Amino acid sequence: MELWKSVVLGVVEGLTEFLPVSSTGHLTVAEKILDLPVDDASVTAYTAVIQVGATVAAIIYFFKDIVRIVKGFFLGLFSKRHRGFDYRFGWYVIVGSVPIAVVGVVAQDAITGPLRNLWVVAAALILWSGVMVYAERVGTQTRTERQTNLTDAVVVGVMQSAALFPGVSRSGATISFGLLRDLDRVTATRLSFFLGIPALLGGGALELKDALTGPSVGGAALAVGTVVSFIVGYASIAWLLRFVAKYGLISFVWYRVLLGVALIIALATGALAAT
């Protein structure tokens, strides 16, 4: 992979990883436009690995929160009097991360094969937009972060697995179901971030070997894409938290539907091939 292409893909990843528009879907489209073999295992692995850059950006952005939660968790393991919210939230993240770990391993062949298809991306972009609209309309948004419970983490964690379908969006799935659990927008978005950290780091680690050893990528391109996604991803986190708190998910729905329709037209006319 030429380095300029890895820069483009790093920008796409950094911009879209935490937005509810599907980073994998956007990367699949970008890779196809850049004439990369989207059904090549090493390209699929590259997509997963450069997400680590954006994930590290999230870790740095939420570093104080993460340190506080980790500290509270380990103190709570050894002392009942320290088993407050941070201790419980540590367990929420651990338990909520299990579903996507299981599904990611079991369904790895499908994720790197048949699902890497632009028809899947287009359909998922449009169909999941309906879920996002429903979540905005139905969720009462009356519960704050301190009222988050284990059921919230399990439900949101299970729905994180839906993002393995390119076009759904991990943040779109998790924020939507956080809203359906009546969490307020900022709480749902923060829970999405915290559950995403182990999921994205694990996915990157799982795919690293294929990305490095495959014929289509190379170590230099992988490093450049990861660094660029980190820089752009850090900037997008702060913006998303402010935007979602004020405007919600509906603005993203319009974009998703328009992109999905544009993809369908491009595929139907032969302007783009599905794989």
Q: How far is the C-alpha of 167 from the C-alpha of 157, rounded, in Å?
A: 18
Q: Report whether pLDDT(107) > 70.
A: no
CB 19 within 8 A of CB 243: no
Confidence of residue 220 (pLDDT cuts 50, 70, 90): confident
Q: How far is the C-alpha of 189 from the C-alpha of 240, rounded, in Å?
A: 9
Q: How far is the C-alpha of 234 from the C-alpha of 150, rounded, in Å?
A: 28
Inside any domain, residue 275 = no
Confidence of residue 124 (pLDDT cuts 50, 70, 90): very high
CB 11 within 8 A of CB 228: yes
pLDDT tens-digit series, residues 7-17: 999 999 998 98
Inside any domain, residue 144 = yes
pLDDT tens-digit series, residues 222-264: 899 999 999 999 988 888 888 887 888 888 999 999 999 999 9
Q: Provide the 8-state DSSP code for 169.
A: -
Q: Report whether pLDDT(111) > 70.
A: no
pLDDT tens-digit series, residues 82-92: 889 999 999 99
pLDDT tens-digit series, residues 36-72: 877 777 888 888 888 889 999 999 999 999 999 999 9
Inside any domain, residue 274 = no
Tally of structural domains, the chain = 1
pTM recorded for the entire structure: 0.87
Backbone angles phi, psi at 38, to 5 degrees: -65, -20
Q: Provide the 8-state DSSP code for 143.
A: B
Tokens found for residue 158: 């299970």
Measured CA to CA in angstroms, residue 114 lies from 29, 39, 108, 225 at distances of 15, 8, 11, 24
Supply the pLDDT for residue 46: 84
Q: How far is the C-alpha of 191 from the C-alpha of 122, rounded, in Å?
A: 27
pLDDT tens-digit series, residues 132-190: 999 999 999 999 999 999 999 999 999 988 877 888 988 999 999 999 999 999 999 99
Q: Report whether pLDDT(200) > 90.
A: no
CB 261 within 8 A of CB 42: no
Inside any domain, residue 156 = yes
Domain, as residue range, for 14? 3-269
Tokens found for residue 121: 């991306």
Inside any domain, residue 81 = yes
Inside any domain, residue 182 = yes
Burial zone of 219 (CB within 10 Å; 0-12 exposed, 13-18 middle, 19+ buried): exposed
Q: Report whether pLDDT(109) > 70.
A: no
Tokens found for residue 256: 């998703």
Q: Report whether pLDDT(105) > 90.
A: no
Average pLDDT over residues 188-212: 84
Backbone angles phi, psi at 167, to 5 degrees: 110, -25
Confidence of residue 216 (pLDDT cuts 50, 70, 90): low
CB 263 within 8 A of CB 120: no
CB 166 within 8 A of CB 28: yes
Total Cβ atoms within 10 A of residue 78: 7
